């Protein structure tokens, strides 16, 4: 019996270049294996009988791991095409931002009272005793008489003659400050130091199961008081600016928590001078146009503020409404400049003494730059004459530097220029600053490397940097007074 010929189930396919019409330009019909339901439209697909030998385990060529055809998917697992939708976060609702500002109360005075309890309850001033000394910190008992920080010591003693004057001990203050910041880092990993006695802490999402941000701040304040013996004021708000203003309002030894969305209402009745960005000059200009409170500044039109005060006006409009998108930086904010200055007890008229003071400033400024991993492109000299006239001069260096020798050399060159042009006027204050900072990644040239090989007999930038780092290591281990440079 003859087997009837198999009739095709579809129109014979022609190659695209042989197609006579658009309808004929289509892909060949799919051929599906009857045993595994896989397509073999583009690949050779021998029937199941080829792989049905007893010594072979596979019924279909497409089932072999090494001969598996890419793009062939079992029919039973084939899924219909779906258009991809926009990704939706699965983290749930966003938590309101909670930023706390912690500020130690009369920090220097508090440390002195911890070491000497007999000072408790007495008006205490920390600062220099000389006629030109400045108050670094004043106790609340002394503030009732009008004493405050950054005030001449002579004026403070006239206001409060019975005050006890204590010389500052900065090494001791820095040790307590490190312990204070360590306690805050136990509460939250995102802590940014705002100075030796203050810090910003991001408490967003901290302690949700144990009372939230308020309970976390209370625990931190309790530890600071119990372990260090000093009091700390704090404020929890939705931004850095409002938290800073609130901590000042919470002094002494207080804690304020503002509800989410209540920053603007808290700021509205306060004087505009309470904003950290508003200095005396800007406050006078605002008072001249009738703006006395933060709420009045927030009610003004942003375009009018920009036209009147420039970019400061736009910033004022945002801060007055409690808007401050600046986040808390766990590693601290980038250093913009480093400076040191000193006020002499008596006016200085000798150039050599001024140069020695500049060298001391260069050592401290250079150490700060090396510690921060920065180099300075610009060196600035500041002089204040005996009649309180202040002048500054700057010099941009050819190559960024961090070495003490290079900073001192640039500062002394500026000093010589000012000294000759001033007619040797008596100097009341001298300062040295480094700005326009860049990363500490300056490549040495061939001349520097060659000079480094002759470092034993000749000064070079490479030798100066090695010497500075060795001095820094010795002072870090044995103290600042362990080593001093010769003239």
Backbone angles phi, psi at 348, to 5 degrees: -100, 130
* DSSP classification of residue 442: P
**Mean pLDDT, each 10-residue run in order, the chain (487 residues):** 50 53 55 53 47 45 46 46 42 76 94 94 88 86 91 90 92 93 92 90 77 88 94 94 94 91 93 90 90 92 89 90 88 75 86 91 88 88 89 89 88 90 85 86 49 49 68 65 58
Q: Which of 141, 198, 257, 465 is catalytic?
A: 198
The confidence score (pLDDT) of residue 125 equals: 94
Counting Cβ atoms within 10 Å, is residue 352 exposed (0-12), middle (13-18) or buried (19+)? exposed
**d(C-alpha 112, C-alpha 139), whole Å:** 11
The confidence score (pLDDT) of residue 34 equals: 52
User: Is the CB of residue 204 less than 8 Å from the CB of residue 252?
Assistant: no
Adjacency order of strands within the sheet including 390-401: 338-348, 427-439, 374-385, 390-401
Return the structure tokens found at 163.
């005050």
Return the structure tokens found at 12.
């014979």
Q: Where do the domains of the chain lie, and which CATH numbers do they carry? A: 35-71 (no CATH), 95-261 (3.30.70.270), 268-333 (1.10.150.20), 338-442 (3.30.1490.100)
What's the pTM value of the predicted model, to 2 decimals?
A: 0.65
Q: Is 389 a catalytic residue?
A: no
User: Is the CB of residue 217 less than 8 Å from the CB of residue 203?
Assistant: yes
The confidence score (pLDDT) of residue 128 equals: 84
Concatenate the DSSP letters of all residues of 108-123 into one string: HHHHHHHH-GGGTTS-
């Amino acid at each position: 019996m003859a087997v009837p010929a198999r009739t095709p189930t579809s129109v014979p396919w022609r190659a695209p270049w042989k197609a006579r019409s658009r309808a004929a330009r289509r892909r060949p019909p799919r051929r599906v294996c009857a045993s595994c339901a896989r397509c073999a439209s583009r690949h050779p697909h021998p029937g199941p009988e080829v792989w049905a030998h007893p010594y072979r385990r596979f019924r279909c060529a497409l089932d072999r791991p090494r001969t598996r055809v890419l793009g062939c998917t079992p029919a039973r697992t084939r899924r219909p095409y779906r258009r991809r939708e926009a990704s939706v976060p699965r983290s749930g609702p966003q938590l309101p931002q909670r930023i706390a500002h912690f500020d130690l109360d009369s920090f220097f005075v508090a440390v002195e009272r911890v070491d000497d309890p007999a000072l408790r309850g007495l008006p205490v001033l920390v600062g220099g005793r000389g006629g030109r000394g400045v108050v670094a910190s004043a106790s609340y008992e002394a503030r009732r008489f009008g004493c405050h920080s950054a005030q001449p010591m002579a004026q403070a003693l006239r206001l409060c003659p019975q005050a006890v004057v204590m010389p500052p001990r900065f090494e001791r203050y820095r040790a307590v400050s490190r312990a204070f910041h360590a306690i805050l880092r136990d509460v939250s990993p995102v802590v940014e130091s705002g100075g030796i006695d203050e810090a910003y802490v991001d408490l967003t999402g901290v302690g949700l199961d144990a009372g939230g941000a308020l309970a976390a701040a209370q625990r931190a304040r309790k530890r600071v008081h119990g372990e260090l013996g000093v009091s700390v004021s704090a404020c929890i708000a939705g931004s850095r600016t409002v938290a800073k203003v609130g901590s000042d309002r919470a002094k002494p030894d207080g804690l304020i928590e503002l509800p989410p969305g209540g920053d603007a209402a808290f700021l509205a009745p306060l004087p505009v001078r309470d904003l950290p960005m508003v200095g005396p000059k800007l406050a006078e200009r605002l008072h001249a146009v009738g703006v006395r409170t933060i709420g009045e500044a927030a009610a003004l039109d942003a375009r009018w503020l920009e036209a009147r005060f420039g970019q400061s006006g736009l910033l004022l409009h945002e801060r007055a409404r409690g808007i401050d998108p600046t986040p808390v930086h766990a590693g601290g904010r980038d250093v913009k400049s480093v400076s040191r200055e000193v006020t002499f007890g008596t006016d200085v008229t000798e150039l050599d003494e001024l140069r020695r003071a500049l060298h001391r400033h260069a050592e401290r400024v250079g150490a700060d730059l090396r510690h921060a991993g920065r180099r300075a492109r610009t060196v600035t000299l500041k002089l204040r004459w005996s009649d309180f006239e202040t002048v500054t001069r700057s010099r941009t260096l050819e190559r960024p530097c961090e070495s003490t020798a290079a900073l001192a050399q640039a500062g002394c060159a500026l000093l010589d220029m000012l000294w000759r042009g001033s007619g040797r006027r008596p100097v009341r204050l001298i300062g040295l600053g480094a700005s326009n900072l860049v990363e500490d990644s300056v490549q040495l040239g061939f001349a520097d490397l060659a000079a480094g090989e002759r470092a034993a007999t000749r000064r070079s930038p490479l030798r100066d940097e090695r010497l500075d780092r060795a001095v820094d290591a010795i002072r870090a281990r044995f103290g600042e007074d362990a080593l001093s440079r010769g003239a």
